[in-house]
Amino acid sequence: MTDTGAAKPQRVAPEEGQGTGAAVPPRAARDAGAAPADHASEAETGDASLTDGPEESRDPQEDAARGAEAEKAGASRPETDAPPAATSDPTPQTAAPPAFVAPPLPVTLAYMGAAAVISVTQGLGQGFVTANIQQIAGELGATTTEASWLMAAYLIPRASLPLMLTKMRMQYGLRRFAEIAIIIYLVLAFVSLWIVDLRSAVIVQFFNGMASAPLSTLAFLYMIEPLAPQWKLRMGMPMVMACTMMGPSLARVLSPSLFGDGGWTDVHLMGLGLAAISLALVFLLKLKPAPKARVLALMDVVSWLFIAAGFGGLTVASVMGSIHWWTDTAWIGWVLALGVACLAIAVMIELNRASPLLDIRWLASPAIVHLTITLLIFRLILSEQSAGAPRMFQVLGVTQNQLVPLFTVIAAAGILGGLACIPFMTLKRVPLYHLVALVLIATGHGSTAIRPSIPAPSR
């Protein structure tokens, strides 16, 4: 029952052998019996009207009679002052997630096409630099060794920035994250048109690496956005990985035509055009908003700075070590040691935090260690496809135009491989996929090893 103010005192449990009428004044008992629990507003109005009139106008004998009747009625019915369901279930009821509503087929294809465009845009950005490092060095008036800093500058922020972007996306929202990321990438693609020397090229490449770090996440989110929950892993993961891996190979297919006509300027114009298309797709096709939470802390920034310095040192040593050679250049060893020291400090900080930026204990679990070793093995084996074989062909005098058919086949095979995984993609079959992939790679290497000679491509 709704509280009626000071006019109705609280009911007190009677002592043994004492009646209930002695604990409640006649007027309060009359008010309590006059209005049931489901008409609390009417009881409040009645109480207010009773208190406004003078007390002399009421008959004391009538009040006493009505009070006795109210006491008998109150003793014969259960107490209804407190709702019984208020404390019956202390567990809060959580709302069920909304049911998935499949969008129309054109909308689904639009989201998947946007994911393909964004992933190709991100892959071509670094692929053009890696595939044409000699031509770029000539246009910048630098040596090939000096121009290799362009690759290192691009990869340094890409190695560590996704860790911070994860929490930034959780705190500021997915929609704002997507729009700001693609706008920054478009601005930097526009600034790339004014590169005049090696120093400005290295600076722009560093910021291009920062701007392209969110694009792989955006491509994945757009790929799985229109898919039902049971298809997000089965179809979304293979397709977005195939599109991402197609970028470097597609860059080698397009590079001869672009560099042959307009040099590095045409490459920047193509990157600017792809960034503009991606911007239009991001603003046209909306991602579903995700819940926001305040997850960023000051120690996240401190930890990320050490992680960025550590990964940056490892990246520089990995890229420049094979060019200068590891034991011939002293500064490579110092950079490598500095990177390891920064990572050790970051690990000590993260192990003593309740909400770490990088969960070291989870990364050290057997399942994640097994996955890391597996990915490292495949990365080392497939490095010949992206770096080893092209450099060997360059040493042998094979031009970029002659390698176009080879990398066309590689790009097409990557897409077909992603499509082939869709009907059979389950978590239980992942080890089987790894075994089949290793067998196929070994078969390809064996087929070229048993041939005494391979004719060079026609000029």
* Segment 27-31 mean pLDDT: 42
Q: What is the pLDDT of residue 2?
A: 41
Please tell me the predicted confidence (pLDDT) of residue 173: 76
Q: Residue 345: its pLDDT value, please? A: 94
Section 93-116 average pLDDT:
77
The Cα 218–Cα 182 span in angstroms is 9
Distance, CA of 165 to CA of 19 (rounded, Å): 71
Contacts of 399 (CB under 8 A, 6+ apart): 256, 459
Q: How far apart are CA 342 and CA 363, in angstroms?
A: 18
The lowest-confidence range among 133-137, 281-285, 360-364 is 133-137
- Strand, helix or coil for residue 101: coil
- Size of the chain in residues: 459
* pLDDT attached to residue 56: 43
Task: Put residue 141 in one of left, alpha, beta given phi > 0 → left and psi -120 to 50 → alpha.
Answer: left
Per-residue pLDDT of 240-280, as tens digits, reads: 888 888 888 888 888 888 777 667 778 888 888 888 888 88
- Whether pLDDT at 94 is above 50: no
Q: Distance between CA atoms of 19 and 213, rounded to whole angstroms?
A: 79
pLDDT at 26: 43
Q: Look up residue 86 and give its amino acid.
A: A
Give the C-alpha separation, 142 to 168, whole Å. Answer: 38
In this prediction the pTM is 0.69
Residue with tokens 């994911």: 115
CA distance 124 to 17: 92
User: Quick one: pLDDT at residue 309?
Assistant: 92
Residue whose pair of structure tokens reads 């309060």 in the numeric block: 28
Q: Which two tokens stand for residue 191?
A: 């600034």
Is the pLDDT at 89 greater than 50? The verdict is no
Q: Which long-range contacts (CB under 8 A, 24 or more apart) does 75-79 make?
A: 75/20
Query: Token pair of 395, please?
Result: 């040493």
Distance (Å, rounded) from C-alpha 326 to C-alpha 337?
Answer: 13
Q: Which residue reads 């309590």 in tokens?
A: 32
Please tell me the distance from the alpha carbon of residue 400 to that of residue 269, in angstroms, as a whole number: 20
CA–CA separation, 308 vs 26, rounded Å?
79
Higher pLDDT, 27 or 268: 268
pLDDT of residue 65: 54
Judged against a pLDDT cut of 90, whether residue 340 lies above it is answered with yes
At residue 182, the pLDDT reads 83
- Read off the amino acid at residue 350: E
- Coil, strand, or helix at residue 41? helix
Tell me how far the alpha carbon of residue 15 is from its chain's centroid: 66
pLDDT at 192: 81
400-440 confidence digits (pLDDT tens):
788 888 888 888 888 888 888 888 877 787 788 888 888 88
**Residue that the structure tokens 């491989």 belong to:** 417
More confident residue, 16 or 266: 266
pLDDT at residue 150 is higher than 90: no
Q: Which tokens hold the place of 219? A: 């491509």
Q: Please tell me the distance from the alpha carbon of residue 341 to that of residue 327, in angstroms, as a whole number.
A: 20
pLDDT band at 30; cut points 50, 70, 90: very low
Encode pLDDT of 152-162 as tens digits: 888 888 888 88
Pick from 374, 372, 310: which is nearest to 337 by CA? Answer: 310
Is 80 exceeded by the pLDDT of residue 55? no
Exposed, middle or buried: residue 287 (CB in 10 Å: 0-12, 13-18, 19+)?
Answer: middle
44 vs 431: CA distance, rounded Å: 72
